[in-house]
Chains A and B, each alone.
Chain A
């Protein structure tokens, strides 16, 4: 059995923290800051690695649901209907992409972006408003998951009130 990814990351953090960082010239503040950020990245990856696949699976499922919803409610002219068909095709293709969930998420989101732009050209106003509301609701939930996954970066002023990774999954 090979060493676990967590143990390998932990060894790298140790090497960087206790051996490499102290050896960096004290005048070289940029190199020091970069090395400290690498330590922070590796530590964060260590915290995310067990759950990353679950987060991707959940996001793909949510994006597929969003794509199905918005393509079904999109009403308008030829630009809108063509773009709605592209969303449906992207959802089908994602199902065949196997484990590359991130590529599936990317291609469906791209198709939805294009649908919104197409709706701007010849979509019906009421349908456009429904699509916008669905996208906002979806993104609220997705951005909350993203903030939970990256809470350890300390960027989030509300990080103390965010749910845990386990709770959000």
Chain B
């Protein structure tokens, strides 16, 4: 039989990351390195940086939980005068639920410093020549993903479905929209973002590149074939929307991916930029309104990201940006986003777990079952069509 797989237009930097993952497929199972070894590597890496770190000592390096895709450590950096500051080391595991470029994340943090609250990007080992795997150091921002006094439900692994409670909803809704608007209004095409490509070769390229990224991930990682995945892929290929305005997209913007400063009652940092890319603002909007990232309030009304009703969010976004939300385009990106997470969970997380290529294999296999919720959403969206 001839090759019946589609020809794909994957963004070059993403294609390189996916190729790197395929090359690592035959590696032996992941074995954790001793904390002392990581601390020593961090010390020597810091020493290689500019003179401002001369004489600084890395101390108290500890593993952190959270983050299903990266190995995380915190450590203290002690200056010669004795003052101490806390930092985070992020390291790519051999494989993960999402395979991403740390360079892009680093560039995004640098680009958005002073525009929205982000951890300060300090230094990067982009090719892994020092740490043995791509790694970067950022400042540690204090804050919580679930504030004190929030109701008990939600907030499991990856912070899905966090219920911050009524008082915090009112406090967080405004900065939540404000920061999303700032990200989308950022002049991404003039910014220093060398690892990002502008999808403007043809009107549908922004949408097409996303479909092709996750199609490639499915082909690479599938364990249990699923005809709905290919059916959804076909539907998307036949319904690619044009993109009139290319913006910077966070791509995982939701409650659980920002830190809350309880004292100042606001958002202290927006995290997890690894899936960021350039494209259509509907992409992020569809992500924010996803059912899986919200929950019902005390009156049974669905709250997007646990903060506000769907229509209120859409209205406030349109009012703040002057952009109009096209229901058909939004519907496309809702299907794409649910498809994408289904691929991440049912294929990539599963593959990572059975290859034992991650520090959290037991979490990766735990996440697989969540993929059925996203599959169910794809079915519903394909059947119901766009909301008017």
- Please tell me which stretch of B21-29, B241-249, B356-364 contacts chain A, meaning at least 4 of its Cβ atoms lie within 8 angstroms of it: B356-364
Contact B362 A109, beta carbon cutoff 8 Å: no
Q: Which of B296, B372, B380 contacts A147 (CB 8 A)?
A: B372
Chain A residue at smallest Cβ distance from B380: A140
User: Which of chain A's residues have a CB closer than 8 A to the CB of B227?
Assistant: 66, 109, 112-113, 116, 135, 138-139
- Cβ of B111 within 8 Å of any chain A Cβ, yes or no, is no
Closest Cβ–Cβ distance, residue A77 to chain B (whole Å):
12
- Cβ of A146 within 8 Å of any chain B Cβ, yes or no, is yes
Number of A-B contacts (CB under 8 A): 126
Contact B64 A30, beta carbon cutoff 8 Å: yes
Contact B375 A139, beta carbon cutoff 8 Å: yes
Contact A113 B226, beta carbon cutoff 8 Å: yes
User: Which of chain B's residues have a CB closer than 8 A to the CB of A82?
Assistant: 1
Given the interface contacts A139-B228, A154-B156, does A132 sit within 8 Å of B235 by beta carbon?
yes
Which of under 10, 10 to 19, 20 to 34, or 35 or more describes the interface residues of A? 35 or more
User: Which of chain B's residues have a CB closer than 8 A to the CB of A147?
Assistant: 372-373, 376
- Please tell me which stretch of B10-18, B41-49, B259-267, B287-295 contacts chain A, meaning at least 4 of its Cβ atoms lie within 8 angstroms of it: B287-295
Contact A117 B5, beta carbon cutoff 8 Å: yes
Contact B366 A41, beta carbon cutoff 8 Å: yes
- Cβ of A106 within 8 Å of any chain B Cβ, yes or no, is yes
- Cβ of B354 within 8 Å of any chain A Cβ, yes or no, is no
How far, in whole Å, are A131 and B6 apart by their CA atoms in the complex?
Answer: 19
Given the interface contacts A29-B63, A146-B372, A157-B295, does A118 sit within 8 Å of B379 by beta carbon?
no
Chain A residue at smallest Cβ distance from B294: A157
How far, in whole Å, are A82 and B231 apart by their CA atoms in the complex?
Answer: 19
Closest Cβ–Cβ distance, residue A40 to chain B (whole Å):
7
How far, in whole Å, are A131 and B235 apart by their CA atoms in the complex?
Answer: 12
How far, in whole Å, are A131 and B295 apart by their CA atoms in the complex?
Answer: 34
- Cβ of A73 within 8 Å of any chain B Cβ, yes or no, is no
User: Which of chain B's residues have a CB closer than 8 A to the CB of A155?
Assistant: 156, 160-161, 292, 369-370, 373
Contact B383 A136, beta carbon cutoff 8 Å: yes
User: Which of chain A's residues have a CB closer than 8 A to the CB of B230?
Assistant: 113, 116-117
Contact A143 B234, beta carbon cutoff 8 Å: no
User: Which of chain A's residues have a CB closer than 8 A to the CB of B365?
Assistant: 41
User: Which of chain B's residues have a CB closer than 8 A to the CB of A153?
Assistant: 366, 369-370
- Cβ of A114 within 8 Å of any chain B Cβ, yes or no, is yes
Chain A residues in contact with chain B, CB under 8 A?
A: 27-30, 32-34, 37-38, 40-41, 66, 79, 82-83, 102, 105-106, 109-110, 112-114, 116-118, 120-121, 128, 131-132, 135-136, 138-140, 143-144, 146-147, 149-150, 153-157
A-B CB contact pairs (8 Å), 10 listed: A34-B362, A40-B366, A109-B226, A113-B229, A116-B230, A138-B227, A139-B226, A143-B372, A146-B372, A157-B292
Further pairs besides A27-B62, A140-B380, A146-B369: 12, Cβ < 8 Å: A32-B65, A33-B65, A41-B362, A79-B1, A106-B225, A109-B225, A120-B4, A139-B227, A146-B372, A149-B369, A150-B369, A157-B292
